[in-house]
Chains A and B, each alone.
Chain A
Amino acid sequence: MACMNEDGQWIVLMGLLVALGLFFLALIINQSALVGQTTAEGVLEFPKNDIRDLREAVFDYVKTGRLEAVQKDIIAISLERKNAVVSFSAGEQQDVSGRLLRPVTIHYNNGVTEYDEVVYY
């Protein structure tokens, strides 16, 4: 447009603004898809159900007499099938608010998520 015709500059300017606006709208739509993806991947990556299940298995182990074979089963199968390093033990019974409970130590680490707990059971 140099020196040819000075008319219609507002129209050109508004056209530019609309184009920029469309560009940013496209960016926002793109980000909204990413939000769902990262949420779902975060949920899938986090072993919530694995840890809950492990806790129940450890409580079962304590309840059924703390057999070494069961402890070995859980540790070995966790490593082989879930890629998780697991360690747990139960101490001697203690008086906790009038109830005899064992301190149960649970460790879980699958390389991404680490979980440590001492619970009286």
Chain B
Amino acid sequence: MVNDSGQLYTMEGVAAGIIMLLTVYIVISTTSIYTAGDTHIPDMQLEQLGSDVLAMMDTPDTNGGTSELVGFVRNYKGDELRGAFIDNCTTRSGDPDTGLRAQVYLSYRTSSGGINTTPLSSPDPEFTGRENTVRVTRWVQLTGSPSLPTSVPGDMRRSSLQAVLVEVLLWRA
């Protein structure tokens, strides 16, 4: 110590420094950056779009007729189902939305009472499992007569009326 004057200035300086540091900390921690993925807004839109498309495909063209969706599931045409689904999702003006991908699964109760989920469409070669996917589902009732084709999984009940769940995994590549 050369001399002991100026203590008040030192205290004021320390206080000002603390206040400035605190302000910077509060301001930086307040403005966290939200990306589109964080806010789930595209997920919400995608899920609603997929649900609407499935509901539309499950609506018969005529009263008492069979819907497109039931036809695809009954004949076990997963790839055709996916193609029609993607087509319906992208029928809008403007953006062709070519990045839209889908994978169709079928859940059913086996003859022994367990639940099985099997891919209905052939696997997407670009699917890594880390995509930001949403899942939309639709109940489908399958009549047993005429009995289901032999291409369905062996443990599926082929000859009786049953309810199965069509699940579509939807994402943008």
Contacts and interface: CB of A to CB of B under 8 A. Distances in A.
Chain B CB within 10 Å, residue with most, of A2, A37, A49: A49
For the residues of B in contact with A, the DSSP-based class is: mixed
Contacts of B8: 2
A40 B161 contact: no
A70 interface: yes
A39 B167 CA distance: 25
Given A37-B38, A73-B163, 20 more contacts: A23-B23, A23-B27, A34-B34, A37-B39, A37-B40, A39-B41, A40-B39, A44-B47, A49-B55, A53-B55, A53-B138, A56-B139, A60-B141, A61-B163, A67-B160, A69-B161, A74-B139, A77-B107, A77-B164, A81-B117
Chain B CB within 10 Å, residue with most, of A40, A56, A61, A64: A40
B30 A44 contact: no
Interface residues of A, number: 40
B10 to A, nearest CB: 11
A69 B162 contact: yes
Nearest to A52: B55
Nearest to A28: B30
Given A44-B47, A72-B109, A19 B23 contact: yes
Interface of A: 1-2, 19, 22-23, 26-27, 29-30, 33-34, 36-37, 39-41, 43-44, 49-50, 52-54, 56-57, 60-61, 64-65, 67, 69-70, 72-74, 76-77, 80-82
